[in-house]
Amino acid sequence: MKTTQLTAEILRKKSFLCVGLDVDMDKVPSAFRNSPTALVDFSKAIIDATVDYAVAYKPNLAFFETYGVEGMAALKEVIDYLNAKHPEIFTIADAKRGDIGNTSTRYAKAYFETLGFDSITVAPYMGKDSVEPFLAFKNKHTILLALTSNPGSNDFQRLETNGKPLFQSVLETAKTWEGSDQLMYVVGATRADALTDIRKIVPDAFLLVPGVGAQGGSLAEVATYGLNKEVGLLVNSSRGIIYASQEEDFANAARRAAKAMQEEMALLLAQNNLI
């Protein structure tokens, strides 16, 4: 999927919401916990409940890989369901992969071709030759970890290198790589103060922004500093939507939570003259 298609869907739905599918069997409603198809059934129920308000879905691979072959089969079924029923939806494999040469190529083939995702999250620590193999896949997107929302991000990402934080050097260097027009970047909502500087470096790129909701990030702040002329944002919410209720009304609760975010996003888009 090209970013122009993603932008068109954002404007159509008046939403830049990404729903994170972090399907934790300890948190899903009790009716699912002993079912062999729980990962698929819960994911599909969340998708059906929220798809009117979301433009992207982001399965977190850890919650599927933990169940081995069965978990990966469930992931395939979920992504096939999205691709078949909602081809307009942008899909993100939250895998945080990254390795050199042919290994990265195999990761890319696994998620772009075998599983059929539109994009994948990738760690930049190993540099150019660990990321460019992902960028060789046309009409697919690589979402580079730039400035993440976890407390440990201060260990490395904000270290000063040549008079600037390391995450800024990552952004500047990544722009020089072959296929860099297919890059997106992860910027945590709890780091909204840095979005102004980030937009100076990557003014036209899409940013995937986790950390709104359960982690305390402000959607209004993210929009103020992160929106560009093509919108350029995907704001992810996982726990705040998929676990809005752990009772039988979980799907309706998820729908209400997604709708509330979409309504706030529509207002922010209007205030910024984007709709």
* Catalytically annotated residues: 96
The alpha carbon dihedral of 272, 227, 22, 14 has a sign of positive
φ/ψ (deg, to 5) at 39: -60, -45
**Secondary element (H or E) of residue 76:** helix 68-85
Torsion of CA 50, 114, 92, 30, to 10 degrees: 50
Cα–Cα distance for residue pair 46/40, rounded to 1 Å: 10
How many Cβ atoms are within 10 Å of 196's Cβ, its own excluded?
A: 11
Task: Find, among 95, 46, 40, the residue nearest to 73 by Cα.
Answer: 40
Q: What's the CA gap between 21 and 42, in Å, rounded?
A: 9
- 174, two tokens: 């990544």
List CB contacts of 105: < 8 A, sequence separation 6 or more. 133, 136
Q: Return the ∠ at Cα 100 (arms to 98 and 103), rounded to 5°.
A: 80
CA–CA separation, 75 vs 14, rounded Å?
A: 28
Side chain identity, residue 225? Y
CA distances from 201 to 11, 70, 122, 195, 218 (A): 25, 42, 19, 10, 22
